[in-house]
């Protein structure tokens, strides 16, 4: 009986990215549309859904937000869209999926021409 908690303790409990559900995305702004088509630096200004798996027993809200901010480029704006517990693609230990709308921030300066 003591072996099960030890085995589970070895699993990572850091929030991780997962497949996002279908989310209604806002239209692309005129400034962002001017950056398309994508160039060689692959900065994508289009809004997107970003989802992470976590568990409130293991993860503080700050950990979840830190991971989501890593996935949203250029210090973009984040808005929580939904949270699901059932029928997600998350693991048993991190069974909650939180989905955010990410509107990317300004593009990084181009270092190479």
Q: How far apart are CA 45 and CA 42, in angstroms?
A: 9
Token pair of 113, please? 């021409």
Task: Give domain limits for the chain.
Answer: 47-107
Nearest residue to 98 (alpha-carbon basis) of 73, 67, 70: 67
Count CB-CB contacts under 10 A for residue 64. Answer: 20
**73-94, pLDDT tens digit by residue?**
777 889 999 999 887 889 888 8
**36-66, pLDDT tens digit by residue?**
665 555 677 778 899 999 999 989 999 999 9
pTM: predicted TM-score of the whole model, two decimal places: 0.72
Q: Over pLDDT 90: what percentage of the chain?
A: 30
């Amino acid at each position: 009986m003591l072996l099960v908690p030890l085995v589970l303790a070895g699993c990572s409990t850091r929030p991780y990215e997962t497949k996002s559900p279908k989310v209604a995305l806002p239209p692309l702004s005129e400034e962002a549309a001017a950056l398309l088509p994508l160039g060689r630096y692959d900065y994508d200004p289009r809004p997107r859904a970003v989802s992470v798996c976590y568990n409130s027993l293991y993860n503080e809200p700050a950990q979840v937000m830190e991971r989501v901010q890593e996935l949203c480029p250029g210090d973009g704006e984040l808005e929580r869209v939904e949270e699901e517990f059932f029928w997600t693609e998350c693991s048993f230990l991190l069974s909650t999926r939180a989905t955010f709308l990410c509107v990317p921030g300004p593009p990084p300066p181009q270092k190479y021409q």
